């Protein structure tokens, strides 16, 4: 797919300057260039279109502006609309994501390599107020790259997705830059920030001070009262792969400091059993045509209740996954080793992620149903995937559940967001161009006719007979009438692993011609029983991140949705509380609270709601 591109050239004294008039008036910090020139070869473009392209470009940059300021003491946010309901559950909404993208020496990093910046909104319905705090997670890399005395930043770790413009390139083995910026979890009265490839960092949940790494999985091979089944019974000869692994391990572990098992940032909570489920993969398998996944289940005191390892004969990359009562569900995103890319990446000329590329060699998508409870007898071989009849790169999972009939047949349903292999690109996520260090919004916005390649919400249905054999597998839109780019599906977590009726997600209204699909500006509510949708949009030149559902009643949609509004036109962030039942109505906003402009923060990734009275 050829993406359209914004072609921006440096401004020269004699170059004409486009004046952005209302409603495109933009204010920028002092370090941001205000005057830009646009060159669009071989086209005659009207001034209004040029203005729209310029506004779209700068709005997108503003969504990823670094925030160096922290709040060590909670501040009370000003309510600008509505009021906090007195029955709102007392608790804290934690949101993590990157906070810094540019250092003081000319280097920029991909958003996925930005240092973790934890935001905390504590909501007290009885007092009718919300307090806000924001702190950087003091990871090993953050402590090395930030001078706490002078406030200066100097990037020394290039990270998996970036190349340093100023600093050591060749021979720089500081790749696994654990920035703890991807997801956040409060479990067993402890708070953690997670990253895709290292141990979580524990954070004090009241002051947001960093405690340090919390190693959940390494050294936990022995389980009292439990045993790990021997899963290494594959028929395919493994001598060559084992030899390759033995060569790679000392390099990856010793030179590049990768942990033997990479803990994934996406976890699952089994609300019915009150368990925390986590998954890891072996570091060396990223470069081998096989995959090793280990699943862990913990109680609320972090006692490991179960551990199982599965070895699959495919080169896969998993970001998010699902579970049911009987299975761990993996959508196998197929990848392959890029030989040329790996050579340039190791030398430091390209990002390390250049060593991998998507593998669209098959027109189907493998789905692995791995037994959550060890099974025996003539049940299906879990090493053989179910091939879904469409090629789909799965991004995030909203929910999965299974139902059995009186004959022992099982139907499994999974609600997830997925995109085309033709659109997904490791090096261009969020539109980051590592060569220029800039963000290009066109990379995230497909042209007309190619928009079907973008992320969509789907429901995957798998029918198994009593012996576990697949009788049918189909992939359908979550709603047949909904065709907009959509991601970050969430549900009422009380229904996790159970048959749910409602799914909430982030999507785009499509009203801006130059940003038709991303960034998101709309919350959509799916009713799977009625096959209907309702939406709420944030407004012009404003964007949103992932919504979070807060349960407050017995019915599935009794509760509230929390979503952060990024008002780039004002350089402000807002916390918005929506009535989940009233999505689609005019009075959906319960309250809107303003974060002070000096603390305006960039786009966050994933969040977590923790009730103060909850055990988790």
Q: What is the DSSP letter of 90?
A: P
How buried is 457 (Cβ within 10 angstroms: 0-12 exposed, 13-18 middle, 19+ buried)? buried
Q: In the chain, what is the straight-line distance between the N-terminal and C-terminal CA atoms, in Å?
A: 45
Give the separation between CA 328 and CA 279, rounded to whole angstroms. 10
How far, in Å, CA of 499 to CA of 494, rounded? 11
- Number of other residues whose CB lies within 10 A of the CB of residue 63: 18
* Residues whose CB falls within 8 Å of the CB of residue 470, separated by 6 or more in sequence, listed in order: 380, 386, 462, 463, 464
Q: Whole-angstrom Cα distance, residue 98 to residue 115?
A: 5
Residue 395 has φ and ψ, to the nearest 5°, of -100, -60
Q: How many CA atoms lie within 13 A of 334 on its CB side?
A: 18
**Cα distance between residue 434 and residue 169, in whole Å:** 13
Q: Is 327 annotated as a binding residue?
A: no
The C-alpha R_g of the chain, in whole angstroms, comes to 24
Tokens of 609: 């709601």
Among 98, 217, 202, 68, residue whose Cα is nearest residue 159? 98
- Strand residues in 478-596 grouped as ranges (E): 486-490, 502-507, 522-527, 532-537, 543-544, 548-551, 559-567, 572-579, 589-595
> On the CB side of 417, how many CA atoms lie within 13 Å of its CA?
24
Q: How far apart are CA 132 and CA 208, in angstroms?
A: 11
| 606 has binding-site annotation | yes
Q: Which secondary-structure segment (H or E) carries 213? A: strand 210-213
Q: Quick one: how far is CA 22 from the chain centroid?
A: 34
Pairing of strands 275-282, 261-263: antiparallel
Residues forming a β-bridge with 282: 261
CA-to-CA distance for 455 and 419, rounded, in angstroms? 4
Q: List C-alpha distances in Å: 322 to 319, 362, 365, 386, 553.
A: 11, 23, 15, 15, 25
What is the Cα 217 distance to its own chain's centre? 22
Q: Which two tokens stand for residue 152?
A: 């200066």
C-alpha neighbours within 13 Å on the C-beta side of residue 490 = 26
The Cα–Cα gap between 180 and 265 comes to 9
Largest separation between any pair of C-alpha atoms in the chain: 79
Does 396 appear as a known binding residue?
yes
Question: Which residues does the annotation place in the binding site for Fe cation?
Answer: 319, 396, 606
Question: Which residues does the annotation place in the binding site?
Answer: 319, 396, 606
């Amino acid at each position: 797919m050829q993406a359209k591109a914004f072609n921006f050239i440096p401004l020269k004294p004699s170059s004409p300057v486009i004046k952005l008039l209302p409603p495109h008036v933009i204010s920028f910090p002092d370090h941001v260039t205000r005057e830009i020139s646009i060159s669009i070869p071989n086209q005659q473009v009207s001034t209004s279109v040029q203005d729209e392209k310029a506004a779209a470009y700068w709005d997108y940059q503003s969504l990823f502006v670094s925030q160096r300021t922290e709040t060590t003491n909670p501040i009370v946010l000003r309510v600008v609309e509505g009021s906090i309901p007195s029955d709102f559950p007392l608790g804290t909404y934690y949101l993590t994501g990157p906070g810094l993208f540019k250092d003081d020496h000319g280097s920029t990093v991909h958003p996925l390599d930005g240092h973790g910046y934890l935001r905390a909104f504590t909501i007290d319905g009885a007092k009718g107020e919300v307090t806000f705090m924001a702190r950087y997670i003091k990871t090993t890399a953050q402590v090395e790259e930030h001078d706490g005395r002078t406030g200066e930043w100097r990037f020394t770790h290039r990270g998996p997705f970036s190349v340093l413009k100023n600093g050591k390139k060749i021979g720089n083995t500081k790749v696994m830059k654990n920035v703890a910026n991807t997801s956040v979890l409060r479990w067993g009265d402890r708070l953690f920030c997670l990253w895709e490839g290292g141990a979580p960092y524990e954070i004090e949940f009241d002051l947001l001070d960093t405690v340090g790494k919390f190693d959940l999985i390494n050294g936990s091979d022995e389980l009292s009262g439990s045993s790990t089944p021997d899963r290494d019974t594959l028929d395919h000869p493994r001598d060559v792969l084992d030899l390759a692994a033995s060569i790679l391990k000392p390099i990856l572990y010793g030179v590049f400091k990768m942990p033997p098992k990479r803990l994934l940032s996406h976890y699952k909570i089994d609300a019915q059993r009150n368990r925390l489920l986590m998954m890891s993969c072996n570091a060396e398998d990223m470069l081998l045509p096989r995959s090793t996944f280990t699943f862990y289940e913990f109680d609320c005191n972090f006692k490991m209740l179960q551990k199982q390892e599965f070895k699959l004969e495919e080169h896969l990359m998993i970001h998010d996954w699902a579970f049911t009562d009987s299975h761990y569900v993996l959508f196998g995103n197929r990848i392959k080793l890029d030989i040329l890319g790996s050579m340039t990446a190791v030398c430091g000329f390209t990002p390390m992620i250049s060593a991998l590329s998507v593998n669209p060699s098959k027109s189907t998508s493998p789905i692995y149903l791995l037994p959550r409870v060890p099974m025996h007898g003539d049940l299906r071989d879990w090493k053989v995937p179910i091939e879904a009849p469409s090629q789909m790169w799965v991004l995030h999972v909203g929910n999965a559940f299974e139902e059995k009939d009186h004959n022992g047949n099982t139907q499994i349903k999974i609600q997830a967001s997925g995109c085309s292999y033709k659109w997904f690109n490791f090096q261009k996520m969020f539109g980051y161009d590592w060569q220029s260090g800039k963000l290009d919004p066109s990379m995230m916005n497909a042209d007309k006719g190619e928009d079907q390649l973008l992320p969509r919400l789907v429901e995957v249905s798998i029918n198994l007979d009593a012996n576990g054999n697949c009788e049918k597998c189909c992939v359908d839109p979550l709603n047949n009438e909904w065709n907009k780019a959509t991601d970050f599906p969430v549900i009422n977590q009380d229904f996790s692993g159970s048959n749910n009726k409602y799914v909430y997600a982030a999507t785009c209204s499509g009203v801006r011609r130059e940003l038709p699909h991303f960034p998101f500006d709309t919350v959509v509510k799916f009713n799977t029983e009625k096959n209907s949708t309702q939406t709420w949009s944030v407004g012009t030149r404003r964007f949103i991140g992932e919504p979070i559902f807060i349960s407050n009643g017995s019915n599935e949609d009794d509760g509230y949705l929390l979503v952060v509004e990024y008002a780039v036109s004002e350089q402000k962030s807002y916390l918005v509380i929506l009535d989940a039942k009233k999505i689609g109505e005019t009075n959906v906003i319960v309250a809107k609270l303003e974060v002070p402009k000096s603390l305006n923060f960039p786009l966050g990734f994933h969040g977590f709601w923790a009730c103060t009275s909850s055990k988790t």
